[in-house]
Amino acid sequence: MLDRTISIPAAQITLVDGELYAGLILNEDGTPGHHLVLLPGDHEDTEWNAAVEWAKSINGELPTRREQSLLFANCKQHFEEDWYWSGELYASDASFAWCQYFSYGYQSYGVPINYQCRARAVRRLPI
């Protein structure tokens, strides 16, 4: 068995009022990728394109599916039990986007982008 050492540089993360540190996202090879911060605020009942623009307007982005899984694991109590847009369109048909249900963690790609879901924004801090 080959030994591996993974270094995580010390990080001092400054959060502004209302932000929550969500955790560390790993790269595909298991090495540390970036820190994830959940921004304050919840955008209700909005289409996907409007959700993307809203996230940009508060200097954030919609989370990826992997990031939504981390948010579900570490910050579920800060979400309504409802569907939330991810920042990922469905690869086979860009008229659909991925969503996550923050009651039990289910993710779905079968949501038309003109459907009304909630949105939360994140910011990423590279390592």
Instruction: Specify which residues 80 forms β-bridges with.
Output: none
Nearest to 113 by CA among 44, 50, 35, 71: 50
Residue 84 token pair: 């939330």
The domain spanning residue 62 has which CATH number? Answer: 3.10.100.10
- Domain tally, the chain: 1
Provide the sign of the torsion angle of the four alpha carbons 111, 114, 117, 123, taken in this order: positive
| pLDDT tens across the length of the chain (127 residues) | 677 777 777 788 999 999 999 999 999 988 899 999 999 999 999 999 999 999 999 999 999 999 999 999 999 999 999 999 999 999 999 999 999 999 999 999 989 999 999 999 999 998 8
Closest CA to 29 of 4, 11, 10: 4
pTM for the model stands at 0.92
In a domain? residue 35: no
Q: Is residue 32 part of a domain?
A: no
